[in-house]
Amino acid sequence: QQQVKQSPQSLIVQKGGISIINCAYENTAFDYFPWYQQFPGKGPALLIAIRPDVSEKKEGRFTISFNKSAKQFSLHIMDSQPGDSATYFCAASRGFKTIFGAGTRLFVKA
Amino acid sequence: NAGVMQNPRHLVRRRGQEARLRCSPMKGHSHVYWYRQLPEEGLKFMVYLQKENIIDESGMPKERFSAEFPKEGPSILRIQQVVRGDSAAYFCASSPPVPGGNTEAFFGQGTRLTVV
């Protein structure tokens, strides 16, 4: 019940394309869904986050789509750039407890 | 304002030795979280501490692992009698106190522990 399932494990996208990463959760008590970006040798950094009372949140080229009834949410990276190449983690949290997905390695080809 | 500082960045220990990982939270942050990241896996919650208190240690192995966050000084994650399976990246995160709500946690760069 505490799991967050993330897919795909890895993703290769052409420069300018759309990168889509999907996550699903089980526990309906989660009330905050952040996405983190991690570059090699660095700690994760918050990219964008959403609460379940909205279905979509957009910040620049990054959009979270949230489907509360399906208990799914996804990250869309528009106009993907080589600099976006990193590992992306979705997460679900309530209070201080955050459960992370296993991560998606994104590689954007120039 | 310096970010979350973890040291050492890399730590090599022989089986049976002790490993001490340090984390200095961001200024003004009184909440510290420790996570473990195995290769090709996400971050696994280990423990949540506030100054001088362990709030939740449900992710900590029952033996050999301990954590503290003293009134003065950094938070320490201690692993006694390390085994090869302890090899991982250990990340610390900190956040300010936000009563009842979610707040962004800022991560350090991690300590990569290798047990040989």
Q: Which has more pLDDT, B82 or A102?
A: B82
Q: Which of A39, A53, A98 to mutate to test the interface with B (most CBs of B within 10 A)?
A: A98
SS3 content of chain B, % helix, strand, coil (to 5): 5, 50, 50
Residue-level pLDDT at A95: 80
Residue-level pLDDT at B100: 54
Residues of B in Cβ contact (< 8 Å) with A98: 33, 45, 105
3-state secondary structure of B84: helix
Query: Taking residues A56-85, what's their average pLDDT?
Result: 97
Evaluate if residue A4 carries a pLDDT over 90. yes
Query: Taking residues B74-94, what's their average pLDDT?
Result: 96
Residue-level pLDDT at B36: 96
d(CA B46, nearest CA chain A) in Å: 10
Cβ-defined contact of A43 to B93 (cutoff 8 Å): yes
- CA dist., res. B77 & res. B70, Å (int): 12
For residue B104, report the phi and psi dihedrals to the nearest 5 degrees: -65, 135
Q: Which has more pLDDT, A15 or B71?
A: A15
Query: Taking residues A43-50, what's their average pLDDT?
Result: 93
Evaluate if residue B35 carries a pLDDT over 90. yes
3-state secondary structure of A84: helix
Residue-level pLDDT at A71: 95
Residue-level pLDDT at A96: 77
Strand partners for B101: none
- CA dist., res. A50 & res. A7, Å (int): 19
- CA dist., res. B75 & res. A64, Å (int): 34
Confidence category of residue B104, pLDDT binned at 50, 70, 90: confident
Query: Taking residues B66-81, what's their average pLDDT?
Result: 96
Residue-level pLDDT at B28: 86
d(CA B111, nearest CA chain A) in Å: 10
Query: Taking residues B45-49, what's their average pLDDT?
Result: 93
Evaluate if residue B40 carries a pLDDT over 70. yes
Confidence category of residue B26, pLDDT binned at 50, 70, 90: very high
- CA dist., res. A33 & res. A23, Å (int): 10
The token duo for B87 is 């090899």
Evaluate if residue A2 carries a pLDDT over 70. no
Evaluate if residue A55 carries a pLDDT over 60. yes
Query: Taking residues B55-60, what's their average pLDDT?
Result: 92
For residue B41, report the phi and psi dihedrals to the nearest 5 degrees: -125, 165
Strand partners for A48: A35
Q: How far apart are the first and last CA of chain B?
A: 36
Query: Taking residues B11-30, what's their average pLDDT?
Result: 95
Residues B32, B78, B115: CA angle, nearest 5 degrees: 120
Q: Which has more pLDDT, B69 or A3?
A: B69
Measured in residues, chain B has a length of: 116
Longest dimension (CA), chain B: 43
Residues B81, B87, B89: CA angle, nearest 5 degrees: 125
Strand partners for A106: A11, A86
Provide the chain A residues 58-77 that lie in CB contact (below 8 A) with chain B: none
3-state secondary structure of B21: strand
**Burial status of residue A77 (CB atoms within 10 A of its CB: 0-12, 13-18, 19 or more):** buried
The alpha carbon dihedral of B22, B25, B27, B28 has a sign of negative
